[in-house]
């Protein structure tokens, strides 16, 4: 325990570690959270050519979007959809513009996916159906959604057999009607900020953790450490634990900052809405809060797994630069080469730590293993951390044997 | 206690770093002398069980040290050559870290750290970060860490490197005091350190023990091979190119120099024999490399 404490202290004392933590916090929490809510994501549009030209009035805009959604009642029904379309068209006639980040995106999504036959190809902007469809024809919202899900699975080649049955069974558990609320904030969080968090963390974790073992050779301390009673396995274990603790602490710092910013700017409004209000054809029976918990858990387990891999790589080589390059290659290499690989291999690479995406909860991807179909988010959250944990004993053994060759 | 080295060999590819050396070491101070690349550091690393020999073995009281594992590391203290520090640690924190690695209980470690910082003259700098230390101060911290567990086998690779003359004398006295019933092995190419402290000297060349014995025994081997010769200053360089010159000093107004020459043969009729030292012996064997 004392050794772990000292190793942990040594890690945090490095200037490079503190700079990395600061940069990571600034990028994820300040830019991706605070400034995003306040300014370039939810600030009212002032300059359509750049989000940075937005006004600094995010909180006021968010409150107005939330109030607008709340004014339509508790649940999303045919009547609510019709009323929203009527309001959009009336406001449009008066020259009032509904921004994409308001309820308009939900309306547009419902119309384009569930009422495609109402699209007017002769319209100046066919895809902006909310401006011209007859609201009276917008009926049978949930029956149409069910049909659309079945058709989507069919087109994906997932409609029949065990796989289709599994996905449709999941879809049956989605509670209807959907609670009504503003989805823009959740969409930004669950569809962008959280899935990106792991990718950013990978860069900083690689910089901080790749010298854990190789750095002892770089700084010429390894020959000394290896003559100590506890310089072999105890030290390696302490290094591994402090590396994992650092990964968890960095995650904790970002998660606490992110949630705090979320609560301040978005509040808790809409936590019980199903994720289908963001993506209509998702089949997972999850609400926003559950999805957020999943995505944070996905990132935490991913960074733990990634830390394990980086520590193994660090124990394998004596060069800090090589350890860093290998670590970055593990995280970003698969992303770069994925498009050139067969689909099956792409999916296999997704199982590497921080390579797959937590946004798979919005998708219907599955893995077919030993004759069983498994919904991809289950494996994507478990396998990366298992890979990392498997790496740990090898890292410890490698450190212990490194000098004796 | 007996540390026996039995036909110890280490190859790096085709290069032979240590070539079948054998010795039996009992308590006392051993000076390992040799030019750079003679194999001293490789031998020391094998004696520390952190480098696996290509063949041969090292035994402590009959037990193979690699097999002893932690039991050997318990009784070992090691100061590597040019070893690194953690710049953000203070001296006390660094020693505390090493004490933990050596498995010392916390209270005992803190007591021992204070004691050793006093011994190496760094008590006042205990709370200063290592990055602010001079080379000599770092070396003294290194020596303190090697002594933390009161080792029975103490191996010091170039311990006097970076120390000023006063610090060197202090270290030599410290090691002489410390040795007692322990085995202390120090490698250096500073001959005067070995001369002052070592009970036994092992001279290494090309991975082998070239000479071994006490300082007087070894110095005797150089007697009759050291000469003093007075020549005009203008000829000094010419003599230096023909013989191994241990020293030269100006005489009178500077027109003449007195050369100290190490040579099997009398270099000139007027050369007079003089008393040999360890440095002369070293130059006799390593003159071409020095």
- pLDDT tens readout for residues B264-290: 999 999 999 999 999 999 898 887 655
In a domain, B280, yes or no: no
- B17 to chain A, closest Cα gap in Å: 15
Q: Say what the pLDDT of residue A320 is.
A: 95
Residues of B in contact with A13 (CB under 8 A): 86, 88-89
Residue A215, both tokens: 């750095």
**pLDDT tens-digit profile of B146-183?**
999 999 999 999 998 888 888 889 888 888 888 888 99
State whether B44 and B133 are in the same domain.
Answer: yes
Distances from the Cα of B92 to the Cαs of A93, A100, B89, B101, B136, in angstroms? 77, 61, 8, 14, 16
Cα dihedral A72, A75, A80, A84 in deg (nearest 10): 50
**Cβ-based interface (< 8 Å): residues of B facing A:** 45, 48-52, 70, 73-74, 76, 78-80, 82-86, 88-89, 93, 96-98, 100-103, 106, 145, 149
- Cα–Cα distance for residue pair A174/A142, rounded to 1 Å: 11
Give how many domains chain B has, as a whole number.
2
Q: Say what the pLDDT of residue B288 is.
A: 64
* Interface mutation target, options B68, B101, B106, chain A, most CBs of A under 10 Å: B101
> In this complex, do A228 and B73 lie within 8 Å of one another by their Cβ atoms?
yes
In a domain, B285, yes or no: no
State whether B171 and B196 are in the same domain.
Answer: yes
- Cα–Cα distance for residue pair B42/B48, rounded to 1 Å: 10
* Domain of B179, in residue numbers: 3-214
Which residue in chain B is spatially nearest to A218 when comparing CA positions? Answer: B84
Place of tokens 């360089």: B237
Cα dihedral A294, A300, A303, A307 in deg (nearest 10): -140
State whether B209 and B129 are in the same domain.
Answer: yes
Which residue in chain B is spatially nearest to A236 when comparing CA positions? Answer: B101
The pLDDT tens digits along chain A (405 residues) read 889 999 999 999 999 999 999 999 999 999 999 999 999 899 998 777 888 889 999 999 999 999 999 999 999 999 999 999 999 999 999 998 888 889 999 999 999 999 999 999 999 999 999 999 999 999 999 999 999 999 999 999 998 899 999 999 999 999 999 999 999 999 999 999 999 999 999 999 999 999 999 999 888 888 888 888 888 889 999 999 999 999 999 999 999 999 999 999 999 999 999 999 999 999 999 999 999 999 999 999 999 999 999 999 999 999 999 999 999 999 999 999 998 999 989 999 999 999 999 999 999 999 999 899 999 999 999 999 999 999 999 999 998 876 554
- Cα–Cα distance for residue pair A17/A22, rounded to 1 Å: 9
Segments in chain B below pLDDT 70: 288-290
Which residue in chain B is spatially nearest to A216 when comparing CA positions? Answer: B84
Residues of A in contact with B131 (CB under 8 A): none
Residues 6+ apart with CB under 8 A from B279: B191, B192, B195, B246
- Cα–Cα distance for residue pair A212/B16, rounded to 1 Å: 32
Residue A44, both tokens: 């009212």
Which residue in chain B is spatially nearest to A237 when comparing CA positions? Answer: B101
Residues 6+ apart with CB under 8 A from A401: none
State whether B38 and B171 are in the same domain.
Answer: yes
* Interface mutation target, options A5, A6, A239, chain B, most CBs of B under 10 Å: A6
In a domain, B219, yes or no: no
In a domain, B284, yes or no: no
State whether B261 and B186 are in the same domain.
Answer: no
Helix (H) or strand (E) holding B142: helix B135-147
- Cα–Cα distance for residue pair A354/B222, rounded to 1 Å: 69
State whether B129 and B61 are in the same domain.
Answer: yes
* Interface mutation target, options B45, B86, B139, B153, chain A, most CBs of A under 10 Å: B86
Distances from the Cα of B61 to the Cαs of A65, A167, B65, in angstroms? 82, 71, 9
State whether B98 and B22 are in the same domain.
Answer: yes
State whether B47 and B157 are in the same domain.
Answer: yes
Q: Is the separation of the CB atoms in B120 and B143 below 8 Å?
A: yes
Strands A178-179 and A75-76 come out as antiparallel
Residues of A in contact with B97 (CB under 8 A): 6, 10
- Cα–Cα distance for residue pair A108/A277, rounded to 1 Å: 12
In a domain, B100, yes or no: yes
Residue B64, both tokens: 């193979």
- Cα–Cα distance for residue pair A360/A346, rounded to 1 Å: 14
Q: Which of B214, B244, B263 is the last residue before a domain boundary?
A: B214
State whether B166 and B131 are in the same domain.
Answer: yes
Q: Say what the pLDDT of residue A222 is.
A: 86
β-bridge partners, A319: none
Place of tokens 């990634």: A306
- A310 to chain B, closest Cα gap in Å: 21
- Cα–Cα distance for residue pair B167/A25, rounded to 1 Å: 48
Residues of B in contact with A404 (CB under 8 A): 50-52
State whether B206 and B229 are in the same domain.
Answer: no
In a domain, B228, yes or no: yes
pTM for the structure as a whole: 0.87
Residues of A in contact with B82 (CB under 8 A): 220
Beta strands in A90-193 (DSSP E): 178-179
- Cα–Cα distance for residue pair A302/B222, rounded to 1 Å: 69
> In this complex, do B51 and A228 lie within 8 Å of one another by their Cβ atoms?
no
State whether B154 and B249 are in the same domain.
Answer: no
* CATH at B190: 3.40.50.300
Q: Is the separation of the CB atoms in A381 and A363 below 8 Å?
A: no
Which residue in chain B is spatially nearest to A6 when comparing CA positions? Answer: B97
State whether B64 and B158 are in the same domain.
Answer: yes
In a domain, B113, yes or no: yes
Choose among B254, B146, B42, B13: nearest CA to A225.
B146
In a domain, B279, yes or no: no
């Amino acid at each position: 325990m004392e050794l772990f404490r000292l190793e942990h202290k040594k890690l945090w004392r490095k200037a490079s570690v503190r700079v990395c933590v600061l940069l990571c916090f600034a990028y994820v929490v300040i830019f991706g959270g605070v400034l995003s809510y306040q300014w370039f994501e939810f600030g009212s549009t002032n300059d359509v050519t750049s989000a940075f030209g937005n006004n600094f009035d995010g909180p006021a805009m968010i409150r107005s979007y939330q109030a607008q959604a709340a004014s339509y009642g508790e649940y999303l029904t045919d009547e609510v959809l019709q009323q929203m379309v009527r309001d959009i068209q009336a406001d449009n006639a008066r020259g009032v513009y509904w921004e994409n980040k308001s309820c308009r995106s939900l309306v547009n999504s419902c119309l384009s996916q569930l009422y495609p036959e109402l699209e007017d190809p002769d319209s100046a902007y066919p895809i902006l159906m909310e401006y011209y469809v007859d609201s009276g024809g917008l009926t049978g919202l949930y029956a149409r959604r069910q049909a659309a899900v079945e058709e989507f699975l069919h087109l994906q080649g997932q409609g029949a057999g065990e796989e289709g049955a599994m996905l449709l069974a999941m879809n049956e558990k989605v509670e209807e009607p959907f609670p009504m609320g503003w989805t823009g904030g959740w969409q930004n969080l669950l569809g962008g900020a959280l899935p990106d968090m792991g990718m950013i963390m990978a860069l900083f974790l690689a910089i901080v953790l790749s010298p854990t073992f190789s750095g002892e050779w770089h700084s010429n301390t390894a020959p000394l450490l290896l003559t100590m009673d506890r310089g072999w396995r105890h030290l390696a274990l302490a290094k591994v634990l402090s590396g994992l603790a650092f990964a968890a602490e960095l995650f904790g710092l970002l998660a606490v900052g992110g949630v705090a910013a979320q609560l301040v700017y978005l509040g808790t409004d809409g936590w019980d809405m199903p994720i289908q209000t963001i993506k209509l054809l998702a089949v997972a029976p999850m609400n926003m809060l559950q999805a957020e918990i999943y995505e944070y858990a996905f990132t935490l387990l991913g960074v733990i797994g990634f830390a394990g891999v980086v520590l193994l790589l660090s124990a394998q080589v004596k060069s800090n630069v090589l350890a860093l390059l290998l670590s970055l290659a593990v995280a970003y290499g698969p992303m770069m080469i994925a498009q050139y690989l067969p689909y099956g291999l792409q999916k296999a690479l997704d199982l590497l730590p921080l390579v797959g995406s937590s946004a798979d909860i919005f998708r219907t991807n599955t893995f077919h293993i030993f004759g069983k179909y498994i919904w991809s988010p289950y494996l994507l959250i478990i396998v990366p951390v298992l890979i990392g944990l498997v790496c740990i004993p090898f890292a410890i053994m490698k450190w212990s044997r490194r000098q004796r060759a | 206690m007996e540390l026996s080295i039995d036909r110890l060999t280490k190859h790096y590819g085709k290069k032979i770093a240590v070539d079948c050396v054998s010795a039996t070491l009992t308590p006392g101070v051993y000076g390992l002398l040799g030019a750079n690349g003679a194999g001293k550091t490789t031998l020391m690393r094998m004696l520390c069980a952190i480098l696996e020999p290509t063949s041969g073995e090292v035994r402590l009281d009959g037990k193979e040290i690699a097999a002893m594992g932690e039991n050997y590391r318990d009784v070992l203290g090691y100061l590597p050559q040019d070893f690194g520090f953690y710049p953000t640690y203070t001296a006390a924190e660094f020693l505390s870290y090493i004490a933990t690695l050596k498995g010392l209980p916390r209270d005992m470690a803190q007591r021992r750290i204070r004691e050793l910082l006093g011994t190496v003259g760094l008590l006042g700098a205990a709370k200063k970060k290592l990055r602010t230390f001079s080379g000599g101060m770092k070396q003294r911290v290194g020596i303190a860490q090697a002594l933390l567990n009161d080792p029975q086998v103490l191996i010091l690779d170039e311990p006097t490197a970076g120390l000023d003359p006063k610090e060197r004398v202090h270290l030599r006295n410290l090691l002489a005091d410390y040795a007692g019933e322990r085995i202390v092995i120090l490698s250096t190419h500073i001959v005067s350190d070995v001369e002052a402290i070592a009970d036994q000297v092992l001279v290494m060349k090309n991975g082998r023990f070239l000479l071994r014995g006490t300082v007087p025994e070894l110095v005797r081997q150089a007697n009759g091979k050291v000469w003093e010769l007075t020549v005009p200053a203008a000829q000094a360089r010419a003599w230096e190119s023909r013989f191994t010159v241990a020293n030269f000093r100006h005489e009178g107004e500077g027109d003449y120099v007195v050369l100290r020459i190490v040579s099997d043969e009398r270099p000139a009729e007027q050369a007079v024999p003089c008393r040999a030292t360890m440095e002369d012996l070293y130059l006799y064997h390593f003159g071409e490399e020095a």
